[in-house]
Structure formats: structure tokens, C-alpha cells
Structure 1
């Protein structure tokens, strides 16, 4: 349903996409992860025909974004980083308007609006102006607008940015319902837990190209086996704790130190044995420990290991890619 092949896009001397290649099967969620400046927003713009690639091509439901943009738009819905709802219109009026813009007659647009209000649990507020909605309700209304025309593909560009936990969970439920109905979803997100929860396949991009892809489990396996996390009481002991963790893992990987959280974490192929030895050594060196755990790698670990931090090029100050 989504195919991107060797797409390149430059803004002057800045390379936003550098031979990007991605695929998503029907009825699946493709999660697109990457730090700011990695190429996520440019990818969305190319796929939604808002930006022409310099070379390469992309297809949505078999239609080329370069040669058949109108057919692409007929098969695609978009929900951007900010909910695109008219605050002066009611929830019903917003969806009815979108249906009319897609060419539906008044009866069909009204029926579709009522259907979506029920599907997205907005029936009770159908007659209320969108300007009075919470962030989660506005997001649900925006998602409903993106599927008025029953598109085969929906692009969600950081759909839960700024939402509270309840709003985020509601959005996840909506996405799961879309996929269960056969819709293919491209999801860009800064929340790794979100990708872990929703995505069937995850692609990590940096500097405009894919640097790793696979299922969440496959990517986690790339980060090694278990990890030891130690939280200590005193900031003055951070360096010592880091040295102890490095020594007990025989320098297999450098410990990650989080000064604000007073936490040190390291990959521990030895698992439980490493944790026991670390705690014994910390006790022997009189380093007070407030929390200790042994856990599987998370997507956060994978992300940091793969990207090494921000992808922002020097002198680039915008939140994401250079705008078209």
C-alpha cells in the first residue's frame, strides 16, 4: 500500500532525504522514527504530494506521487501534527464539510458524519463547537476527518504530540480500529512507546535514509540482551557508579549516565549475575542505591544506540526539516 523507492530531496545544500526506501503492507502500521532533522516531515510531504522529490518515486495504493498525484490524494488521508479542525463549527459540521469537499451529496455527507461521530465516540458532542473541545477530542475529530472518504492509506504525523495520557490512549485505540478495518497507516512519532504499541514494522531514519528497520522485538534484540539500571542517592557518586558498571561488564559497552535522574544504565550480557556483582561492589564502596533493576532493552535504548543523539545539522535551528 505504501512504497517509497530511492527518494532524494535537497533544500539547497541541505539533504533532507538521501535515497529513502520504505514499504508498508496493506492493513499494517509502519512506524517512522528519527530525531529532529532526520527527514520524517519531508517524507510525509512527499508521500502526500505536498512536495515533489528530486529523484526516485513513491506510490500510494499503486499510484505514483509524481505521475498520479490526484489518484494518490483520493486514496490517502492525512492527520498532521496539529488538529486541522474549524473551531467555529460543531463536530458534525466539521465532518459534514469534509464530506462535501470530497464530492459527497448532502445526504451521504451527513450519514458519513454521523457514522464517524459514533465510531470516534463523539456523538454526545456532535452539536458543540470544536473550539471548546479538549486536545484529545480535537485529535479524534481530526482523525475522523482524515478517514471521511474511506482512504486506503492514512498518514499520521506525530498524532499525539501535546496530548495527555488519556488522550494518547484514546488515539491509540482509534488507530488500532482503523488498522483492524484494513487501513494502512504511516505513523511518525517522537514517542517510542507509541511505536512499540502500534507499529507492525518500524523504520529508524537519520540524515534522510533508513539506518535500521524491523519489528519492535527485532530492533530491541539489536540493542543487546538485558540492561542493568542503577539509581543512586548522591550525585557525587555518579562517576564511581559508572566506573563500577563498566568494570563489571568488562567494558563491553559504555554506561549511559543520566545526571538529572541520578541513574546509570549499561548493557549486561551476564544478566542477573552482573546485577548481583554491581550491587555487591556498590555496597562495598559505600555507594547508597535507591533503585536497581534488570530489564530488556526498550526502543529508547535502540534509538539512542542507532542515532547517537540529535540529527540536527550545524546551524540548523528549526524543529524538523527545512520547509519547502
Structure 2
């Protein structure tokens, strides 16, 4: 994707598997929003090929759009609608696209229970709390039982309890209804909790792809095993923590105490990957000047 002479995205190449929860991470300006907008069909790429559910999003028809759910970062203004009426209203648009084995739309009572808004079904949307309104946003996004759901910064501004409930909802959608989910977030702990796989964008490119554990191993490659024995503290770096712990516990001598296995956190991994990417162009220029 190019704006004028500036390349915002440079040769992205990735696939999202059915039923997967994929998190897209990256610093501001990395190209996350542009990537998602292209996948949703809201923005045309400058070059390359895009395929979502077997179709080019920019040219897809209404039947394709009925398979896509979109939850934007900002709350939609439906303040005067009552919750049940709003979901029933949006649901009617999906009735022509029902197909065998996947009833469409969601039954309103089932959907209210899924997003935990049953007790609030008669309230006006404007009277809901921030977390409740966000769950209503998700309900509107999934009322048509989409195969693929886009979530843009889904828990921005949430308190810890609302964030935890939202993470449980994401897992239910993926595990129970088989929904494929692509989310963007700045919350690294959130990505680690809900995502099967994480893509990190920097400077318009994918610089890392894998689970939180896989990315940590790529960056650090080692895990720290920490313990104390006979009043002395020990730290051992290893690539195989299981074998190290087993060997340690089988050694003769004083009892092992305060045993701890510390893996590199996703935050540490993310910061190191982005730092390496940002310093790479500088290193390349310095090397060329040296030559």
C-alpha cells in the first residue's frame, strides 16, 4: 500500500487459518489499520493480491459481506435503541443469506446470553456501561454468524473485570461457534491471553509470526531456571527447561527451594523485535558507508 511516494505496507504475506484467533501487533504507524481495512474491503491496495474467504474483498458481493463481522474501535451510536430491538433489527438483514448447517441470523435470546446482556435486553443502549456497550458492539458484529470477525482494539478503556469477560467471549466465539477472529490491539497481555498466533508489524512489514512462546524462543532462545539451595541463590539459562528441572531435582544434596522457571514475556519479546527492526536500517546505512 502506497500513499504518494510512501510505502505504508511492503510485501505483506500471511494466511489466517479457519477457526484461528490471530492478533496483529505493532507500533503506531506500522500499518495495522491499513492492513485490516484492505482485508475488510474498505481500502484498495496499491498492488498485490488479497483473498478473504475465497474472494477479493474490493469486489465481493453481499453474500460475501454476510460472512464478515466488523467491530470498530469506536462505539456505534445507537443510544435510543433497546438492546433486544437493535439486535433483532440488524438480524433481519441476514435472513436472506441463511445456509444449511449455519442458521442465520443468531437467535436473539441465544446471542444475548452469549454476550451476557440478557438482563439488560430491555435497556436503551445509551444507559449501558462502557463494557456492556462494547459487548453490544460485538453482538451487532456477530448477529449474522460470520465466518470471520474483525476486532479493532476491542478492549480499549476497559476495566480489568470487563477485559476478562471480553476475553472469555472471544474464546467462546472461536471454540464454540468456530468463528475465525483477527484482532488488532496495543495490549500485549491481551494478545498473549486470547491469540493462537501473533503477527508483529513494523515499518510496513511482518517482522515476526508465531505463538507467544514461539516468538519468545526466537528472540531469547533460552529460559531461566532459578532456585535456591543451602541458602544460596542460583540462575541457569537453558534451552530445555524441563530437562534442567528434572536433572536439578534428582541431584543429591540439600533440598531445592524457591524453584522458578522464567520465560521471556511477550512484552519483552515485542520490544526486542521492534527495536531490532528499527535499528536495522541504521546498521545497513553504516555498513554501506564503511564499504
TM-score by length of 1: 0.69
Secondary structure, counterpart of 1:22 in structure 2:
coil
> Aligned residue for 2:113?
118
Is 2:133 the partner of 1:138? yes
Unaligned runs of 5+ in 2: 98-102, 226-234, 240-259, 279-291
The structure with more strand, counted as a fraction of residues = 1
Give me the whole-angstrom Cα distance separating, in 1, the residues matched to 2:125 and 2:277: 36
Residue 95 of structure 1: how far off its partner (Å): 1.0
Shift, 1:172, TM fit: 0.5
Alignment of 1:168-317 (within 5 A): 168-180=163-175, 181-224=177-220, 225-226=222-223, 269=237, 295-308=262-275
| C-alpha distance 12-179 of structure 1, shift in aligned 2 (>3 A) | same
- Corresponding residue pairs, total: 244
Distance 1:97 1:143, change over 3 A: same
8 Å Cα contact 2:91/2:143 also seen in 1: yes
Q: 1:236-258: per-residue Cα shift (whole Å, max 9, x none)? A: xxxxxxxxxxxxx9xxxxxxxxx
Map of 1:93 onto structure 2: 85
The structural deviation recorded for 1:109 is 8.8
- Report the secondary structure of 1:35's partner residue: coil
Whether the 8 Å CA contact 2:105–2:143 is kept in 1: the answer is no
The structural deviation recorded for 1:227 is: 6.6
Q: Unpaired segments of 5 or more residues in structure 1?
A: 1-8, 229-248, 250-267, 272-292, 312-324
Residue among 13, 31, 34 paired with 1:39: 31
Q: Report the equivalent of 1:25.
A: 17
Residue 67 of structure 1: how far off its partner (Å): 3.4
Per-residue displacement from partner, 1:109-138 (whole Å, max 9, x unpaired)?
A: 997222211221111110101111111111
- Structure 1 residues 270 and 150, CA, compared in 2 at 3 Å: closer, same or farther? closer
Provide the aligned C-alpha RMSD in A. 2.9
Q: CA deviation at 1:83?
A: 2.5
Where has structure 1 moved over 3 Å in runs of 4 or more?
Answer: 69-72, 101-105, 108-111, 268-271
Taking the aligned partners of 1:110 and 1:79, their CA distance within structure 2 comes to: 17
CA drift at 1:90:
1.2
Residue 132 to residue 110, structure 1, CA distance change in 2 (3 Å): farther
TM-score by length of 2: 0.76
Q: 1:60 to 1:109 in 2, by over 3 A?
A: closer
8 A Cα contact 2:19 2:180, kept in partner: yes
